[in-house]
């Protein structure tokens, strides 16, 4: 059996479940065959040299961990400026937030070359390599240039925008051509696959074949949707532990007599937090019976604070929730409970379960695992209702949620009102259908299907 090598920007100890969905899934796939997990160590060397970094290896159970440090200059240019300041906004359709600088692109290439170089020295001939996410798009091209012939697959966790937006990235052909060094490309949704195929056709003159085949720049690659899932059993049993139950009880007693709307995310402009607060304000304006009765609990954990756009968003959310509380609140009731902190994973199911409505309304999202976790955390006999943006990858699968266009603030408010008044029968019907889908396409299905296609050359 060939060894699995996973490459991602960040590496987590697979034995620690606190790291959450993806780390658990990848960790389990690695544990089952024994494998290697390679990526950035998370350490920044202030005195390091660009393009260089020390390799550290350690053993975590059956998994070998190999990580590389980055110097300050590489970290800022490759990680903050290019990955999170160019690729993240453009791939989330937000050209106006992207800051293109040639030096950052050079560093992005350089760090991918550094990673390829360090990884190459650890590879065995029959390894199978699975690269994750936008930080590492050119990794396979660099490995191929070093003579690597192993099968290499790539999974993109974020959306693929339409070709015209991709084409705004300076050197986009270089970036997108490098995807043809992989054997298999996995995307979150059919929409993403369609955008990739259209790009390849219009910009790289690709021939499109059946079963996801794309033939361009002298190479053939399969590009398909493998929607990522969650570990349903793991999340359900997390909900049965004391911490989750305490959280549930605490919320129920703090907000007794209230209906709760719950939102949980990293504080990121892609998550639609501003629009969500506008929709909540509209709910209180248009349906005044909710005043004093309905509270929005919004958790937005700190994220990428060194990137400028995130600082602006933080300030505007604080002022928006302050103004809703000022305009509608009274001595007994604060309409918005906005928390700029993360919640421990073991407490999350309790928070989700306390929410009569789960608000997951990103302006654009690769998949969105919070939507899936919210559904799994519900009491099947009295489930809450998921209000989900049609622009989350998850919307392709979770059709029984109440789907909304987050830009349409009035309609979103109307849907929240509908969710608050949905009959028990309809809630159970929708929840049962959603659970079936989540079980069928859980995270184990995701990693097994991708790896078996990569292995077999399908």
Interface residues with ligand ADQ (CB under 6 A)? 20-22, 157-158, 228, 264-266, 299, 301, 342-343, 348, 365-370, 373
**In angstroms, rounded to a whole number, what is the distance separating the alpha carbons of residues 146 and 117?**
8
CB of 234 to ligand ADQ, least distance (A): 11
Per the annotation, the verdict on 444 as an active-site residue is: no
> Collapsing DSSP states into helix, strand and coil, what is residue 217?
coil
> Collapsing DSSP states into helix, strand and coil, what is residue 286?
helix
Please, which residue, 73 or 373, has the CB nearer to ligand ADQ?
373
Q: Report the candidate in 279, 399, 433, 295 with the shortest Cα–Cα distance to residue 354.
A: 295
Please, which residue, 48 or 153, has the CB nearer to ligand ADQ?
153
- Catalytic entry in 231, 365, 442, 453: 365
HEC readout, 321-341:
HHHHHHHHCCCCCCCEEEECC
Please, which residue, 295 or 389, has the CB nearer to ligand ADQ?
389
Please, which residue, 115 or 374, has the CB nearer to ligand ADQ?
374
CB of 248 to ligand ADQ, least distance (A): 16
CB of 43 to ligand ADQ, least distance (A): 22
Cβ within 8 Å of residue 135, ≥6 positions away = 8, 9, 78, 79, 83, 87
**In angstroms, rounded to a whole number, what is the distance separating the alpha carbons of residues 270 and 249?**
31
Q: Is 203 exposed, middle or buried (0-12, 13-18, 19+ CB in 10 A)?
A: middle
CB of 327 to ligand ADQ, least distance (A): 26
**In angstroms, rounded to a whole number, what is the distance separating the alpha carbons of residues 126 and 113?**
22
Question: Is the dihedral angle over the CA atoms 237, 243, 245, 251 positive or is it negative?
Answer: negative
Please, which residue, 264 or 438, has the CB nearer to ligand ADQ?
264
Q: Report the candidate in 361, 353, 380, 367 with the shortest Cα–Cα distance to residue 434.
A: 380
- Catalytic entry in 135, 157, 222, 444: 157
Q: In Å, what is the CA distance from 442 to each residue of 23, 160, 361, 376, 378?
A: 14, 22, 22, 11, 17
Please, which residue, 231 or 453, has the CB nearer to ligand ADQ?
231
Please, which residue, 35 or 362, has the CB nearer to ligand ADQ?
362
Q: Report the candidate in 43, 40, 37 with the shortest Cα–Cα distance to residue 13.
A: 37
CA 449 to the chain's CA centroid: 19
Per the annotation, the verdict on 233 as an active-site residue is: no
CB of 230 to ligand ADQ, least distance (A): 7
CB of 417 to ligand ADQ, least distance (A): 25
Q: Is 2 exposed, middle or buried (0-12, 13-18, 19+ CB in 10 A)?
A: middle
**In angstroms, rounded to a whole number, what is the distance separating the alpha carbons of residues 152 and 81?**
27
H helices, E strands: number in the chain? 17, 16
CB of 208 to ligand ADQ, least distance (A): 26
Count Cβ atoms below 10 Å from residue 198 Cβ, excluding itself. 17
Residue numbers annotated as active site: 157, 365
């Amino acid at each position: 059996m060939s060894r699995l090598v996973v490459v991602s920007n960040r590496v987590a100890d697979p034995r620690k479940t606190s790291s959450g969905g993806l780390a658990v899934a990848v960790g389990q796939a690695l544990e089952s065959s024994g494998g290697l997990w390679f990526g950035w160590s998370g350490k920044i060397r202030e005195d390091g040299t660009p393009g260089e970094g020390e390799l550290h290896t350690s053993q975590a159970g059956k998994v070998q961990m190999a990580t590389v440090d980055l110097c300050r200059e590489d970290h800022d240019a490759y990680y903050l400026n290019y990955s999170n300041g160019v690729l993240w906004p453009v791939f989330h359709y937000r050209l106006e937030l992207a800051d293109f600088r040639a030096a950052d692109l050079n560093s992005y290439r350089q760090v991918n070359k550094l990673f390829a170089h360090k990884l190459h020295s650890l590879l065995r001939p029959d390894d199978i390599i699975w690269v994750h996410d936008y930080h590492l798009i050119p990794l396979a091209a660099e490995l191929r240039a070093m003579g690597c012939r192993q099968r290499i697959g790539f999974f993109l966790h974020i959306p693929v925008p339409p070709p015209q937006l991709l084409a705004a990235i300076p050197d986009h052909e270089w970036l997108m051509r490098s995807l043809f060094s992989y054997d298999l490309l996995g995307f979150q949704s059919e929409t993403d696959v369609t955008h990739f195929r259209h790009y390849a056709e219009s910009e790289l003159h690709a021939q499109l074949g059946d079963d996801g085949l794309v033939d361009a720049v002298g190479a053939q690659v399969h590009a398909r949707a493998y929607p990522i899932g969650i570990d349903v059993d793991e999340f359900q049993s997390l909900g049965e532990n004391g911490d989750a139950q305490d959280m549930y009880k605490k919320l129920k007693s703090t907000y007794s007599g209230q209906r709760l709307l719950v939102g949980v995310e990293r504080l990121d402009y892609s998550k639609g937090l501003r629009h969500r607060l506008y929709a909540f304000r509209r709910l209180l304006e248009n349906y005044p019976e909710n005043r004093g009765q309905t509270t929005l609990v919004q958790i937005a954990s700190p994220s990428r604070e060194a990137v400028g756009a995130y600082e602006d968003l933080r300030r505007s959310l604080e002022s928006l929730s302050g103004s809703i509380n000022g305009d509608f609140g009274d001595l007994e009731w604060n309409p918005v409970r906005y928390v700029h902190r993360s919640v421990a994973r073991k407490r999350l199911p309790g928070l989700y379960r306390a929410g009569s409505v789960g608000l997951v309304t990103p302006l654009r999202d690769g998949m969105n695992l919070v939507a899936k976790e919210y559904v799994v955390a519900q009491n099947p006999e009295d489930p809450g209702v998921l209000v989900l943006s049609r622009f989350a990858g998850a919307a392709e699968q979770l059709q029984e949620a109440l789907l909304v266009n987050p830009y349409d603030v009035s309609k979103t408010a109307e849907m929240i009102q509908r969710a608050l008044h949905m009959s028990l029968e309809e809630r159970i019907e929708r929840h049962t259908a959603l659970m079936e889908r989540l079980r069928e396409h859980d995270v184990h299905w995701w990693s097994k299907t991708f790896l078996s296609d990569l292995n077999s050359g399908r």
